[in-house]
Amino acid sequence: MTISILLVEDDAAVREVLSLPLQKAGFNVIEAKDVHQARQALLEHAPDLVLLDWMLPDISGVEWARDLKTAQHTRALPIIMLTARGEEEDRVKGLEVGADDYVTKPFSPRELIARIRAVLRRTAPTTSDEPVELDGLRLDPLSHRVTATGKTLEMGPTEYRLLHFFMTHQDRVFTRGQLLDNVWGTNVYVEERTVDVHIRRLRMALSGSGHDGLVQTIRGAGYRFSRQP
């Protein structure tokens, strides 16, 4: 699955300089010139990481980073701050609000890509081939098997893909549109209400082991896969 990066930078020239090498490195880049556009992008896409400039025209990057890290549905989203402010006090401030890394301008695209990959390894250590597990529910991509307390759970291929996406993106809220793009694919036309049908089927498949509560409905937002509060 292609990793998506939300690049929030008000300078169009800088966005272009950063976007091109990121795309060449295999990342899908979503651009925003300010926090207003970035918030809209979060609703329309499901980025795996945010590259966030400190100085933005509407709201400062460090302020929005604090908001992202305190909101329940985005607190697990990795953030790398981009800034010309190199003083230790500023670096500490950026990290204290929850940023996962801090890159001081000027920097090379090669360094930035290395930092991105390092943060992704730290925040999402599970690769697509490694088993993922939560509260006794285990999904093994190599055997294509889902088990709970040692017993195999039967589910359809779409429910399996949906569960795999949820288990590798825990504690984040996804809209129906985001689930369609990431599970069904952007080139497939499926109505959003189809997501609800497969969510019900997935919960039914998980209900026998008592794990159906891990798939949570967030009113007005979408769905989240997380431990029961």
Judgement on whether residues 118 and 139 belong to the same structural domain of the protein: no
Q: Tell me the C-alpha distance between 156 and 138, whole Å.
A: 16
End residue of a domain, out of 73, 97, 123: 123
Q: Tell me the C-alpha distance between 224 and 149, whole Å.
A: 22
Q: Tell me the C-alpha distance between 10 and 60, whole Å.
A: 11
End residue of a domain, out of 88, 123, 158: 123
What is the phi/psi pair of residue 79, to 5°?
-130, 130
With b for 16 or more beta-carbon neighbours within 10 A and e for fewer, the 8-45 pattern comes to bbbeeeebeebbeebeebebebbbbbbbebbeebbeeb
pLDDT of residue 18: 92
Judgement on whether residues 156 and 216 belong to the same structural domain of the protein: yes
Q: For the domain that residue 204 is a member of, what is the CATH number?
A: 1.10.10.10
215: containing domain: 132-225
- CA 183, 185, 186, 192 torsion: positive or negative? negative
End residue of a domain, out of 100, 123, 146: 123
Judgement on whether residues 187 and 210 belong to the same structural domain of the protein: yes
- Residue 35 carries which side chain, given as an amino acid letter? V
Judgement on whether residues 32 and 119 belong to the same structural domain of the protein: yes
Q: Tell me if 173 sits within 8 A of 222, measured CB to CB.
A: yes
Judgement on whether residues 153 and 44 belong to the same structural domain of the protein: no
* Helix (H) and strand (E) counts in the chain: 8, 12
Q: For the domain that residue 13 is a member of, what is the CATH number?
A: 3.40.50.2300
Which residue in 212, 132, 202 sits closest to 167, CA to CA?
A: 132
Judgement on whether residues 47 and 104 belong to the same structural domain of the protein: yes
Q: What is the pLDDT along the chain (229 residues), one digit of tens a residue?
A: 578 999 999 999 999 999 999 999 999 999 999 999 999 998 888 788 999 998 898 888 888 998 988 886 787 788 998 887 665 566 666 677 778 888 887 888 888 999 898 888 776 545 567 888 889 999 998 888 999 988 999 998 889 999 999 998 888 888 888 888 788 875 556 677 888 999 999 999 999 999 999 999 988 888 999 886 5
Indicate whether this model's pTM tops 0.75: no
Judgement on whether residues 15 and 78 belong to the same structural domain of the protein: yes
